[in-house]
A and B are shown apart, each in its own frame.
Chain A
Amino acid sequence: AQRVTQPEKLLSVFKGAPVELKCNYSYSGSPELFWYVQYSRQRLQLLLRHISRESIKGFTADLNKGETSFHLKKPFAQEEDSAMYYCALLFGNEKLTFGTGTRLTIIP
């Protein structure tokens, strides 16, 4: 069965420091992974997907099939990055399985 694991419920990082939010997955098929973000008082929204290999708001994520990971990284944290981040795995007919989320707090 498909599963997404985000081992850190909470992560605090100083402004300007690097950020890494961890995500591991288990899936027997070919994985397609996403990061969704929810800022305070806003809706859950797509941040980035691995197939597009793009950088959004300075964030990147590389799919590592050997380690079954899809960690989200940013070299220099900004205060506006404080939010709840969810890793998600696409399976079946356009269905998403979400991890439990990591609350990122950027310390000024």
Chain B
Amino acid sequence: ELKVEQNPLFLSMQEGKNYTIYCNYSTTSDRLYWYRQDPGKSLESLFVLLSNGAVKQEGRLMASLDTKARLSTLHITAAVHDLSATYFCAVAYAGTASKLTFGTGTRLQVTL
């Protein structure tokens, strides 16, 4: 069974600070996704990571993938209040196109 764990589960940080969210998964995978969810809202796709060493950046967020370590990171640079949300990583079983397992989620709160 594929297990996906994130840490921390909750992160409170001040505006302007940097921090990293970690996503560990238990079995071989060839695709990893990051999503954002605002309270009471749906999930928004942020990044798709397809290969070892992949790095994607959008604004203040940067995601990376290390398939050998079965680890992905989501780095936040100079946080702003608008980044407050819950962030999920999601991992696909290798060879199974449709089945995503979501991580436990990290609730990020950026304070002024």
Q: Tell whether A and B belong to one assembly.
A: no
Residues of B within 8 A of A (CB): none
Chain A residues packing against B (C-beta within 8 Å): none
